[in-house]
Structure formats: C-alpha cells, structure tokens
Amino acid sequence: MKTAIVILNWNGQKLLEQFLPSVVNYSSEKATIYVADNASTDTSIQFIKEYYPSIQIIKNATNGGYAKGYNDALQQIDADLYCLLNSDIEVTENWLTPVITIFNNEENTAIIQPKLLDFKDKTKFEYAGAGGGFVDLFGYPYCRGRIFNHLETDNGQFDDVSEIFWASGACLFIRSKVYHQLGGFDEDYFAHQEEIDLCWRAQNEGYTIKYVGDSTVYHVGGATLQETNPHKTFLNFRNSLLNVVKNVPKQWFLFVVFSRLILDGIAGVKFMIELRPIHTWAIIKAHFGFYANFNKYLKKRRKLQKKSDYNLHTSIVWQHFFLKRKKFKDLK
C-alpha cells in the first residue's frame, strides 16, 4: 500500500528539529515523507532541504490552518493511504505495520488512529486523541482515556483494536480515495474538530473508523495553539456547534441545539468563576460567529446523507461533573 506521511508545518522549525528524526528513522522504508508548509516565514524549508533532502516539500500559498492546509497539500500527493501527522509527534518503531495491516485486511475501514500518549509524561494518555474519540448526545467530544481534562494512566486497558467515532487529527490515517470522496476537510473549521466532522461524514457514507492500540505515538499537544489561548476556546466551541448542525439527525436536532445554548452558557459562567473572563467572551464570540453563518451551515447539512446511527446516549457533562466519573470504563 503506497503510503504518504504528511506533516503540516507553520513556522515550526524547532518542532521539526526535535521530531523529524523519529519519523525518518521509523517510517522512511515504508512510506514517503512530506512536509506541507503553510507559508512559513521562518527557516523551516531551508532546514529540511539541508538536513533532510529525502523529504518532499509542498509549499502552500497561504496559511489556511489545518483544514485548508491539508486540502491544498493532499491534492498534490499520489498515494493509497495518507497519514496526517502533527509536527509535535514522536513515532515509535514499527508504528506503521499494524495500521497498514488493518487497511490491507479490512476494505471498509477508512480511517485509523493509533494510541496517543503524552510526550511530556509517557505513562499518560494525551488529550487530543488518547485511546480513540467519541461524541456525546450533545456533540461534546471525549476519548477513551480522556474525559474533559482528566487523563488516564496507560495500563494497557486500550491495547486493542476497536471501532471508535472519531480519530484524532494529531495522527490520522485515511484512505486517499475516501478523503477525496468526502471532499476533504471542511475549511470553515480552520482548525480544531474538523477531523470529527470528517469522521462523522465518513460514517454517514457507511465507512468504519478504528483505533489500533498496537501502534503508539507520543504527542506534545498545544504546540501551535496553547490550551490557555482564548482563540482555541473560540474554535472548539464554534466548531463543535458546526458539527451538531451539519451532522446530528433531524429527530435530535432541535433538542441538541437548544441544550447546547444552556450548556455552553454554563461553561461560560464556570470560566467567570475561575476568573478567566476572556474565555467566557470567547464562547460568546463563538456563538455569535456560529449564528451569523447559520444559513450557510444549514445548506451544508442538506447536502449530507444521514446513514450513521446516532446511538450516543450519554451526556459526558452530566457524568463527569455531576456523577464524578473520570474514566471511560465508568461511563454509563
């Protein structure tokens, strides 16, 4: 299977210096490595050309974020399988083998995520993907091994192959034909949660998303946009609402949208209590930005086929904050 590892870069020379060695050492025999550069103004490109001449460089004309950056770059890559890899990830020996094996044996599996552990504490799962992603009844994302900000220790509890709802964009494998069939990422997202939308749309078309625990990578997380940055809060809340409008089936739609108004308001109050009003304002801006484009998002919704089962019976907010459940195995 012809595999392309594609690393999106924007002014990330320090990350490339730190993490490219593991990618080259453990991947170059089984895949072609690309760096897709989002109009960087640092010396990233010169660094790659000097120290990693075997890596192919794609220069995007603008910094269109994660979504447009990959959409532009992947139009130029001929491969059966894309691995979209963050620049702040350390890969491990033989990380590709179990993933490619699944793709070879399971034609309907379209997207795969490996185990994501925290680079800063390699005993812990990492926030961005952990042991594979899900969304609750109200469209809030969570993971096996990560419920909101609570991270589980990796004790082998997710050393399995399992169907999941979404795969993390930090390290996402996808068949190229499926990526282009779906039209790639929705560029309205810019960054954050566009992979959830992509996976949701893939399931609407009857494809399967899987987690493969025999493959492990270590992710720094927040290297481009820190968790404390209010713009990250804005993107997460706005894009989560966009996921709901585009993808939630009609029998749940009004209930979920109305409930999100209340729940996001509670989140805003929580930020105020924590003396972080700038994040409360980010939530408000997220909602206004969402409403301003509501008709546009509805048009996208009408184009999507609703084939996937919306069997998401839990409220992660209720279970985590009220019932104090912190581990995936405890969720009901």
Is 224 within a domain?
no
3-class secondary-structure state, position 81: strand
- Domain's final residue, options 219, 247, 272: 219
Q: Please tell me the total count of domains within the chain.
A: 2
pLDDT of residue 306: 53
Mark whether 204 and 250 lie in a shared domain. Answer: no
166: left (phi over 0), alpha (psi -120 to 50) or beta: beta
Give the domain-ending residue among 219, 238, 254: 219
Q: Give the separation between CA 236 and CA 39, rounded to whole angstroms.
A: 24
CATH of the domain at 172: 3.90.550.10
220: tokens are 């720094």
**Whether 161 and 204 share a structural domain:** yes
User: Domain ends where: 219, 243, 263?
Assistant: 219
Query: Is residue 314, in this structure, part of any structural domain at all?
Result: yes
pTM for the whole structure: 0.91
Question: What pLDDT score does 245 carry?
Answer: 87
Domain extent for 265: 230-330
Helices (H), ranges, the chain: 13-27, 44-51, 65-74, 97-105, 176-181, 194-204, 230-247, 250-273, 277-292, 294-303, 316-317
Q: What is the mean pLDDT of each run of 10 residues along the chain (332 residues)?
A: 97 97 96 97 97 97 94 98 97 98 98 98 96 91 94 98 96 98 93 92 93 98 67 91 85 84 92 94 93 85 58 79 93 86
* Rounded Cα distance, 164 and 153, in Å: 20
Asked whether residue 146 is domain-assigned, the answer is: yes
Kindly state whether residues 47 and 192 are assigned to the same domain.
yes
Task: Please answer whether residues 312 and 135 qualify as being in contact, where contact means their C-beta atoms are separated by less than 8 angstroms.
Answer: yes
233-290 per-position pLDDT tens digit: 999 999 999 988 888 877 778 888 889 889 999 999 999 999 999 999 999 999 998 8
* CB contact at 8 A, 100 and 30: yes
What is the pLDDT, as a whole number, of residue 247? 83
Is there a single domain that holds both residue 236 and residue 212?
no
Looking at the fold, whether 202 and 277 belong to one and the same domain comes out as no
Question: In sequence order, which residues have a C-beta less than 8 Å from that of residue 332 and are 6 or more positions away?
Answer: 314, 319, 325
Report residue 207: phi and psi, to 5°: -85, 165
